[in-house]
Chains A and B, each alone.
Chain A
Amino acid sequence: MIDLFFSPFLDYIFLRRALMACLALALGCGPVGVLLVLRRMSLMGDALAHALLPGAALGFLIGGLSLPAMGLGGFLVGFLVALSAGAISRFTILNEDASFAGFYLISLAIGVLIVSTQGNQVDLMHILFGTILAVDSMSLLIVTSITTFTLFVLALIYRPLLIECFDPGFLRVIGGRGTLYHSLFLVLVALNLVAAFQALGTLMALGMMMLPAVSSRLWARHVWSLFLLSSFFAVISGYFGLLLSYHLEWPSGPSIILVAGVIYGVSLVIAPFGTLKQQQGMA
Chain B
Amino acid sequence: MEPAISSFWGRLTKKHPTIRCHPQGPISIDIQNLSVQYPNNPIISGLTCHFEAPSLWAIAGPNGAGKSTLLKTLLGLQKFKGGKINFHGLCPCDVAYLTQQNQLDRRFPLTVGDTIAMGLFREVGIFRRYTKAQRDKMQDALEQVGLSSFAKTPLQALSGGQFQRVLFARLILQNAPVIFLDEPFTGVDGRTIEDLMGLLHRWVKEGRLVLAVLHDLDLTQEHFPKTLLLARHFYKAGSTEDVLTKEHMREAVAASRQWEDTGGTP
Contacts and interface: CB of A to CB of B under 8 A. Distances in A.
Answer yes or no: are A and B bound together in one complex: yes
Interface of A: 38, 91-93, 156-160, 162-163, 165-167, 169-176, 217, 220-223, 226
Contacts of B133: none
B99 interface: yes
A160 B124 CA distance: 11
Given A169-B99, A174-B121, A92 B4 contact: yes
B97 A169 contact: yes
Nearest to A160: B126
B16 interface: no
B77 A169 contact: yes
A162 B127 CA distance: 13
B105 A160 contact: no
A91 B11 contact: yes
A173 B121 contact: no
A220 B108 CA distance: 11
Given A222-B110, A223-B114, 11 more contacts: A93-B4, A159-B121, A160-B121, A166-B110, A166-B118, A169-B99, A170-B118, A173-B93, A173-B96, A174-B174, A175-B93
B99 A163 contact: no
B126 A38 contact: no
A156 B125 CA distance: 11
User: Which of A169, A223, A226: most chain B Cβ within 10 A?
Assistant: A169
Nearest to A173: B97
Contacts of B127: 159
A222 B154 contact: yes
Contacts of B92: 173
Interface of B: 4, 7-8, 11, 75, 77, 92-93, 95-97, 99, 103-105, 108-111, 114-115, 118, 121-122, 126-127, 154, 156, 174
Nearest to A226: B109
B111 to A, nearest CB: 7
Contacts of B96: 173
22 contacts: A92-B8, A159-B127, A162-B110, A166-B105, A167-B99, A167-B103, A169-B77, A169-B99, A170-B97, A170-B118, A173-B75, A173-B95, A174-B174, A175-B93, A175-B122, A217-B109, A220-B109, A221-B109, A221-B154, A222-B109, A222-B110, A222-B111
A21 to B, nearest CB: 29
A169 B99 CA distance: 8
A74 B140 CA distance: 51
Contact of A156 (B97, B103, B126): B126
Given A172-B77, A173-B97, A167 B118 contact: yes
Contacts of B126: 156-160
Nearest to A90: B11
Contacts of A220: 109
A163 B154 contact: no
A170 B109 contact: no
Contact of A223 (B77, B103, B109, B156): B109
A194 to B, nearest CB: 26
A93 B111 CA distance: 37
Contacts of B93: 173-175
Contacts of A171: 121
A15 B103 CA distance: 47
A228 to B, nearest CB: 13
A166 B121 contact: no
A156 B174 CA distance: 23
B108 A165 contact: yes
A166 B108 contact: yes
Contacts of B77: 169, 172-173
Contacts of B11: 91
Contacts of B103: 167, 169
Contacts of A162: 110, 114
A175 B92 CA distance: 9
A156 B108 CA distance: 21
Nearest to A217: B109
Nearest to B93: A175
B8 A91 contact: yes
